[in-house]
Structures are given as C-alpha cells and as structure tokens.
Amino acid sequence: MNTLSQADINTLISYRHALHAHPELSLEEVWTAGFIRDRLEALGIPVHEKIGGNGLVGVIEGSAPGPAVALRADMDALAISETTGLSYASKNPGKMHACGHDGHVAILIGAATLLARTRNFAGTVHLVFQPAEERFGGARLMIEDGLLERFPFERILGLHNWPDMPAGEVLLHEGPVMAGTSEFDITFRADGAHAAMPHLSGDPLLAGGHFLTGLQQAVARAVDPYEAAVATVGSFHGGHAQNIIPQSADLKGTLRAFRMETLTLLRERTRAVAAAAASIASCTVDLAFDDPICPPVANTPLERDLMRAAVRQAGLAAYRGDPRPTMAGDDFGFFLLHRPGAYAWIGNGPAVLDGRLHQPAYDFNDAIIAPGATLLARTALGALAGRT
C-alpha cells in the first residue's frame, strides 16, 4: 500500500483545522457535509449525499470486482463553548468539536486518499460519513434511509480517538467496547400546596428524591454483580421558593450497560421505581424513554482480528495498558445490529491542553491522523482480501 506524503499529511491537518473551526451540532452538519463532499470529489470519488439527514457515502471501486467493506467516521460537534484559545478554535459560538469527530473525518479522508490513489484492490470500499452521533442516533437514521440496501457491505470498521492512551497506540477490545445507552425523562406531578400544609397535596420533590435513590438500588439489587451497569440522573428541576410545594418536578437521566438484556431489565426497574416513588409521595408520574435503545458496541472476532492485523502491518503499536471498555456510548452499535464490525480506539496522547472528551479544552491530536488513516485503509484492504 502507498503511504501518505508529508504534503498529504499537511493537507489533512489543514482539513482538520477547518472542520474544528466550523463545528456543527447533530442533524445540522450541512457545512461539514459539503466540505467532505468537495474533498472526496477532488479525489475522484463519487459521493451520495443526504442519507439519514446530512450523512454521505463515498464509493471507491477497486480495479476488479469483489466484496465490499465500509469505513465509518462521525462528523458532528457538541454544544460546548471552547476554551482552547487555539488559532483554529471554533468560530461558531457555543459549539465545539470536543469529541474529536473533526479528526475522525480527516482520518477517513486520509484513508480515502490512500485507497483512491491506486485502487489496487478487488472490491469496493464505502466511506460512511455519519451525522448526529452525539445525539439522535445518526447511524440508525442512515440505516433507516436505506444505507445497507444502497451500499451493500459485508462488514464495517471505525475508530475513536482516546485521550487516556499514548498517541497513535491502538486498542482493539476482545468484546465490549462501549456501552449501550437508554435515556429517560420523568415528571412527577401533584396539586401543589403551601409548604406548611403538606397534607393538602402530593410532593413532586419528595417523589423525585425517592426516585433518585431508588434507581441506584435498582442497579445494586436487580443487576448481576458481574454485569457492568450505570444509572445516572443528570438533571433534577422543580420548585422555586422555600415555602411552596411545587406542582411538578422533572428528572432526566441515562442507563448504561454492555448487554441489551441488562438495559431492558434496567428500564423495567426504572418504571417500577418511578411508580413506587410517585405512590409514596402521592403524585402522578410520566416516564418516557428515548427509543430505541442505542445498542452496545462489541467487536466481532473476525473483524477485531482484521484490525489487529492491520495494526501490525502498519507498524503501529498495540496498546498494552488496561483494555477495559467504557460506559460511554457510541451509536456505531446500530451498525453492529446488522453487520459484523470492529471499533478501534487510537490514543490521542497526553492532553496538550488538559482536556478530556466532551470538555471545553479538548483538542484532537493531529499526529494521529496519518496512523489512523493508514489503519483504516489497511484494514479495508485486509477485509477485501480476506486476510486476518
């Protein structure tokens, strides 16, 4: 396989900085999609746009017919005000590439550069640029919009930059990589009353308090201790004065686990705890889950080995540290409901600006664009050739 020249790398870095300066939120990636389309077309790659919103697919045909493989990058940003002070910092107030998806796009354009230059392979590589990873399940939106029928690939591969690992080192988990997620919204309601006359109304704040603690007992008592699970209430709003029992309290939270069965169980327990909390505090309750559950990301063995082989062939270092997965989620799991695949983590190195994922000082490391691009391109070639 050919390699990226220093001029190629400089170009990809300039793309990354342009993307970083123009972050767009989930479902709003219009500028980003246009930027990607123009770069792919300049490489001679036909592009199919508006798949599942702002998603796009570039198709690289090899020099002979053969199987098909997909490489995926996400492209959306977060509602965070950037504090890096970088020359290419966000120009869009309140929006920021704080998860490194700007880097993922640059990496996939880099892989496209390598693959399109020679086309010295049999088969097809589909470049899947996915919108709305951070919110709204863009992977699912692309699938519902016919991704798998229009671009029939046998397996899908992707990666995420990871700040707790040395720069350029690659981790391929044995199985689970990232958790499945299920978000919920709850409102407890009652008539409201004078704070000194609690017998005249139910108490939504009391219900919320019982729910908050009861939910933790669901994790501790309903889930097998050998299963990882998390339930977090991230928002609890209700009331505005010392002397009034309010008419409502709103809570929002998330459930995380590595197996769909565990998430389903936690949903059942969340319903039961919410009903019990409402009953204790004489309230009514409305509980809504964001549907569907975002499935866990777990590597399938063959695809994991394909990526591990590519790590060796590319001369990259395999991460030797703690290989535990994360309870953070990624909607790559929707692709894995339909196709086998693998999701690598590539080390972003020590935080230059003391930033972590989803934090206002985070920055993707430009030094991992070339290794990331080489990894994806080599994995695609290995998949098409059936090498592990």
Q: Which residues bind Zn ion (CB under 5 A)?
A: 99
Least Cβ distance, residue 78 to Zn ion (angstroms):
7
* 22 known ligand binder: no
Distance of closest approach, residue 97 Cβ to Zn ion, in angstroms:
10
Q: Is 358 annotated as a binding residue?
A: yes
Taking the mean position of all CA atoms in its chain, how far away is CA 184? 18
Nearer to Zn ion, 70 or 285 (CB): 70
Rounded Cα gap, residues 218 and 350, in angstroms: 37
Token pair of 257, please? 């686990």
List all residues 6 or more positions away from 173 whose beta carbon is below 8 Å from its beta carbon: 298, 299, 304, 323, 325, 345
Q: Is 134 annotated as a binding residue?
A: yes
**Token digits for 319?**
């991460």
- Integer Cα distance of 348 and 363 in angstroms: 9
Minimum separation from the CB atom of position 265 to Zn ion (A): 26
> Could you write out the DSSP letters of every residue in 136-159?
S-HHHHHHHTTHHHHS--SEEEEE
Q: Is 242 left (phi over 0), alpha (psi -120 to 50) or beta?
A: alpha
**Of 99 and 311, CB closest to Zn ion:** 99
Q: Which is nearer to Zn ion, 99 or 245 (CB)?
A: 99
Element (H, E) at 254: strand 248-257
Q: How far is the CB of 368 from Zn ion (least distance, A)?
A: 14
Partners of 330 in the β-ladder: none
With respect to Zn ion, which residue has the nearer C-beta, 99 or 228?
Answer: 99
The distance of closest approach from Cβ of residue 181 to Zn ion in the complex, given in angstroms and rounded to an integer, is: 12
Q: Note whether 141 and 56 are within 8 A (CB).
A: no
Closest residue to Zn ion, judged by C-beta, is 99
Could you tell me the smallest distance in angstroms from the CB atom of residue 364 to Zn ion?
10
Supply the DSSP string of 282-337, one letter for each residue: T-EEEEEE-SS-BPPEE--HHHHHHHHHHHHHTTPPBP-S----EEEE-THHHHHT
What are residue 345's DSSP bridge partners?
Answer: 160, 171
**Spatial distance between the Cα atoms of 311 and 340, rounded to a whole number of angstroms:** 19
Complex with Zn ion: residue 77 or 249, whichever CB lies closer? 77
Please, which residue, 23 or 209, has the CB nearer to Zn ion?
A: 23
CB of 52 to Zn ion, least distance (A): 17
Angle, helix 369-385 to helix 101-118, in steps of 10 degrees? 50
* Nearer Cβ to Zn ion (77/228): 77
- The tokens for 98 are 């704080």
| 210 is annotated as contributing to ligand binding | no
Binding residues, as ranges, are 99, 101, 134, 160, 358
